[in-house]
Structure 1
Amino acid sequence: MQRMAGVVERRSIDVVPDAERHGRAFSQFTLWLGANLQITAVVTGALAVVFGAPAFWAVAGLLLGNLLGGAVMALHSAQGPRLGLPQMISSRAQFGVRGAVVPLALVVVMYIGFFASGSVLAGQAVGELTHLGDTPGIVLFATVTAVAAAVGYRIIHALGRVASLVCAVAFVFLGIRLLERADLSGLLAERAFSFPLFLLAVSLSASWQLAFGPYVADYSRYLPRSTSARATFWWTLSGSVLGSQWSMTFGALAAATAGPAFVGHEVSYVVGLGGAGLMASLLYFVIALGKLTINVLNTYGGFMSMVTGVSGFRGQRELGPRARAGYIAVIMAAGTAVALAGKDSFLTSFKDFLLFLLTAFTPWSAINLVDYYLIARERYDLPALSDPHGRYGAWRRRALAVYGAGLCVQLPFLATHFYTGPLVDPLGGADISWLVGLAVPAALYWLLCRNDTAHIPERTVLAPPGDRGPAPEAAPVTAQPPG
């Protein structure tokens, strides 16, 4: 029992003390490699070809998008060892202790949605593996996800290590089987270039990476404070880009090879590449394992975001096991209900809904990174992040105004089935809302807030004065963004 208690995470949104820090930056590589070697990334890559891009330019566009979006995501990851905090709580430095609830509310909805869409695909694999059918498979998968998320940080990284190895072997095998069917030279020989379709491929993969931004530092915050920001950045970037590009390239080539036989039948097509019998069962297990890794990340990130939002109004309190389980149960119940409702016909529309909500991530990401790296220069007063009457206040109106503007400027460039902006057609149907949502808020926030430095301490404050003596402080920094 004592051993189990040591595995279950005690921390939630509080600062991780130096005495509890452990691990190496390389852990970020295995975690994000395993999280991206999975079926939804395969489907995302296939969409670039389904929408009309030749395989060559689809793969090139997906790579560019993964690199661009992955760089933004990895800049957030580098904040984890420095601050020792979950990602979204640092938003209080920009938006205020209570103002941060605005992006948080949208983030929670997004991760419930990701939980649901992932549960549908994994539920199909679990249903086939157990011979119980889709509905019991979804419920069983959701339950295992919730238990793993409740245990917390250590099991999440353990899952990442296992998934990175198992899924890598499986994808090598599947890639070989796909190449036996595909005329690779013929697929890559088609080089007709369409800028809108190329831009669409870039947007698909960039949006995929940007969606990790609101919780990526949750999984690097236990690293020792001395961990190099550059090491955290590069290991996160390389793991996420390698895993996602590997999966997406497989999806693009599979869609180009199989055509209509792939679309809508992704799980069965992938399993069919391996054959029947025992191999099919193993591949169903691999699909479920890959989805489990990312769904646990979504559930854990949603839990952290809910606690952060609530504590801004009720005060920061220590969470016991029951309270932790309660928050996670809410996410599991909501996500499972949506998955069961949409497992037959709702997923296409729901995917559009999720992409629409991605517009909430990009302006938040731009504001957070500009403030942290360029204005505050990594100097935050961590105790003040819990005090609405402290240095950061309850609401920071300039940041909220920039965030609102960042949402609005994306709408003309947004392309979904239920809403298409007026500037999408001139771009050939490409959705570049993510690019606009990064650039415009970043520039606006810099112009409006670069001289608003009264709330920035001279150095990072790690603990409140009077907490076991004078407040320990980090050394002054003049660091630039890692890279």
Structure 2
Amino acid sequence: MSLPPAPSSTATGPRSVFDGRMPAEPGDLRIEARGIAPVPGQHRYGGPGRLFTVWFAPNLTMTGVFTGTVGIALGLDLPTALLAVVLGTLIGAVPTAYLGTWGSRTGAGQLPLARLAFGRSVTVPGLLQWLSSVAWDALIGLFGGDALARLCGWPFWLGVLVMMVGQGSLGVLGYEAIHRLQKLMTFVLAAAFVALAFRLPDSVHPAAVGSAHGADRVGAFVLTSTIALSLALSWAPYASDFSRYLPQDTSRPRMFWYTLLGVSVSFVAVQALGLWGATVFTDQTARGVDRLLGGGLLGAVGLLAVALAALCSNAMNDYSGSLALQTIGLRVPRPFAAALAAVLGFPLVLWMHAADTAARFQNVLLFVGYWIPGFVAVVAVDWFARARAGEPVDPTAESVRSRSGRPALVAFCAAFAAAVPFMNTGLYTGPVAAALHGADLAYYAAFLTALAVYAPLRLRRSRTTLPDASPA
């Protein structure tokens, strides 16, 4: 499959599916038809401060709260589990913040930019990213749909259906609608979660002493940290999607810090809430929220906040999923691709809800992220190699090359293979993870392996001036 070209704004015919209408200014809420074609400089607008809200609000979900309960369930006491959450979140947030700075420089989304390293092989991470966006729709929609169903007195499936329609509509509207919603929801959801936190001290007793000891305690600490890392790192393949309209001269340090703070503060806050109220936030998270708030009007407000949080987060999943679908070569309009992700997330939510929610939740959460460390390592090495060799960073030019991207694909696959022995999920526990008392080091093994394999291959390509980069 040849790489889909990134056409100019004047493209016509079948190639124009990657182009299309762009938002012109903050508050322009008409449907964004722009696909993977880079955003021209004259269409850029906004400042780096909007990156804080776009990365803060979508993480204030009950998915993060439920993830926070895992540390207590594994036998850790509250201070130790909180330390694991902070450590893992920061490690995962740094790559996301770094990759996000590429959007203003190139005007391109993260998966389209990956073509610089992967060439035609971008279809592999592109497909994984698209599948991951559908999986995240289910992980988050599970709680949002449940909250909406309880709030309105609907059956579970109807609550999920309405949730998917709402998030799909936002994904269709696109970049500016998502930014504006997240700015508003930053204040609304922060207030709702603060109110929820104030209800906890009177009704729950956090774990002061854990049941895990010795090597089991170390294994539980590492696994808790890895799960927190997986949440923050899951945004890495989306990162520049939401900065690609920023002007090229936007301060990259400010972009980095706004993104880092948005991701890390929000994730640590909701996971800390889950740790504190682990005895209340069970599999039936929406019911736990309603019960915790005492039902009535306050309980209804809490359920509405849970549903709105899921809507905010999943709109971003659908938007980035639409860019990933175009990146792998499918010539479908971006709005249609965004709606498709929401449609496919619906049956996956029902599957997760049908049996052991906790087990399926953790399994999906880990599996959708194991490919990301290798991806991050490959694209980062390629970026550094270009800077060192003075090579251009031009996704428009690179998209019409006929490179196979074999070195990147080899490193990417090697990274995933290296991670397998270190994995720890309910479906599979690798021999190394078992020997380490459940410690999941798969993310670290994948990242280091990709670095070790790809860096020599990429540097060799620089020395030979891209011999496989002849025009298509």
TM-score normalised by length of structure 2: 0.87
Distance 1:60 1:6, change over 3 A: closer
Contact kept? 2:39, 2:107, Cα under 8 Å: yes
| Residues 274-293 of structure 1: per-residue CA shift (max 9 Å, x gap) | 22211111111100111111
Distance 1:456 1:19, change over 3 A: farther
In the TM superposition, 1:260-271 aligns within 5 A as 261-271=280-290
Secondary structure of the structure 2 residue equivalent to 1:275: coil
Contact kept? 1:37, 1:247, Cα under 8 Å: yes
2:380 corresponds in structure 1 to 369
2 CA distance for matches of 1:423 and 1:434? 13
Residue from 245, 248, 251 that aligns with 1:222: 245
Q: CA deviation at 1:451?
A: 3.4
Unaligned runs of 5+ in 1: 458-463, 465-483
2:155 corresponds in structure 1 to 133
2:397 corresponds in structure 1 to 384
1 CA distance for matches of 2:67 and 2:190? 18
1:396 corresponds in structure 2 to 405
The answer on 1:108 being equivalent to 2:130 is: yes
2:7 corresponds in structure 1 to none
In the TM superposition, 1:24-35 aligns within 5 A as 24-35=47-58
Secondary structure of the structure 1 residue equivalent to 2:369: helix
2 CA distance for matches of 1:41 and 1:421? 25
Residue from 201, 206, 227 that aligns with 1:179: 201
In the TM superposition, 1:77-88 aligns within 5 A as 77-88=100-111
Q: CA deviation at 1:117?
A: 2.2
Q: CA deviation at 1:351?
A: 4.0
1:470 corresponds in structure 2 to none
In the TM superposition, 1:146-295 aligns within 5 A as 146-183=168-205, 187=208, 194-255=217-278, 258=279, 261-295=280-314
Q: What is the CA RMSD across the aligned residues, in angstroms?
A: 2.4
2 CA distance for matches of 1:32 and 1:147? 20
Q: CA deviation at 1:354?
A: 4.2
1:451 corresponds in structure 2 to 460
In the TM superposition, 1:467-482 aligns within 5 A as none
Secondary structure of the structure 2 residue equivalent to 1:452: helix
**One-letter amino acid of the structure 1 residue matched with residue 370 of structure 2:** T
| Residues 44-97 of structure 1: per-residue CA shift (max 9 Å, x gap) | 11111111111111000100011111001111111111111010011111111x
2:8 corresponds in structure 1 to none
2:349 corresponds in structure 1 to 339
Contact kept? 1:56, 1:190, Cα under 8 Å: no
Distance 1:455 1:39, change over 3 A: farther
In the TM superposition, 1:64-75 aligns within 5 A as 64-75=87-98
1 CA distance for matches of 2:269 and 2:142? 22
Q: CA deviation at 1:42?
A: 0.5
Q: CA deviation at 1:167?
A: 1.1
1 CA distance for matches of 2:314 and 2:366? 17
Residue from 269, 281, 296 that aligns with 2:315: 296
Contact kept? 2:147, 2:304, Cα under 8 Å: yes
Secondary structure of the structure 2 residue equivalent to 1:450: helix
Unaligned runs of 5+ in 2: 1-22
1 CA distance for matches of 2:61 and 2:123? 31
Contact kept? 1:110, 1:354, Cα under 8 Å: no
Secondary structure of the structure 2 residue equivalent to 1:176: helix
TM-score normalised by length of structure 1: 0.85
**One-letter amino acid of the structure 2 residue matched with residue 380 of structure 1:** V
Residue from 403, 414, 422 that aligns with 1:413: 422
Q: CA deviation at 1:191?
A: 11
Q: CA deviation at 1:181?
A: 2.9
1:45 corresponds in structure 2 to 68
Contact kept? 2:55, 2:262, Cα under 8 Å: yes
2 CA distance for matches of 1:165 and 1:456? 50
The answer on 1:431 being equivalent to 2:451 is: no
Residues matched between the structures, number:
438
Distance 1:253 1:233, change over 3 A: same
**One-letter amino acid of the structure 2 residue matched with residue 221 of structure 1:** R
2 CA distance for matches of 1:368 and 1:76? 9
Contact kept? 1:114, 1:295, Cα under 8 Å: yes
Contact kept? 1:61, 1:201, Cα under 8 Å: yes
Contact kept? 1:18, 1:225, Cα under 8 Å: yes
Contact kept? 1:415, 1:424, Cα under 8 Å: yes
| Residues 212-259 of structure 1: per-residue CA shift (max 9 Å, x gap) | 11111100111111111111111000011000000000001111xx2x
Runs of 4+ more than 4 Å apart: 2-6, 188-193, 454-457
Residue from 318, 322, 328 that aligns with 1:309: 328
Secondary structure of the structure 1 residue equivalent to 2:429: coil
2:11 corresponds in structure 1 to none
1 CA distance for matches of 2:463 and 2:356? 49
1 CA distance for matches of 2:229 and 2:29? 37
2 CA distance for matches of 1:201 and 1:125? 26
Contact kept? 1:379, 1:456, Cα under 8 Å: no
**One-letter amino acid of the structure 1 residue matched with residue 56 of structure 2:** L
Q: CA deviation at 1:455?
A: 8.4
Distance 1:455 1:213, change over 3 A: farther
**One-letter amino acid of the structure 1 residue matched with residue 372 of structure 2:** F
| Residues 99-137 of structure 1: per-residue CA shift (max 9 Å, x gap) | 100111111111111112222211111111222221111
Contact kept? 2:174, 2:319, Cα under 8 Å: yes
1 CA distance for matches of 2:334 and 2:131? 18
Secondary structure of the structure 2 residue equivalent to 1:430: coil
Q: CA deviation at 1:326?
A: 2.6
Secondary structure of the structure 2 residue equivalent to 1:248: helix
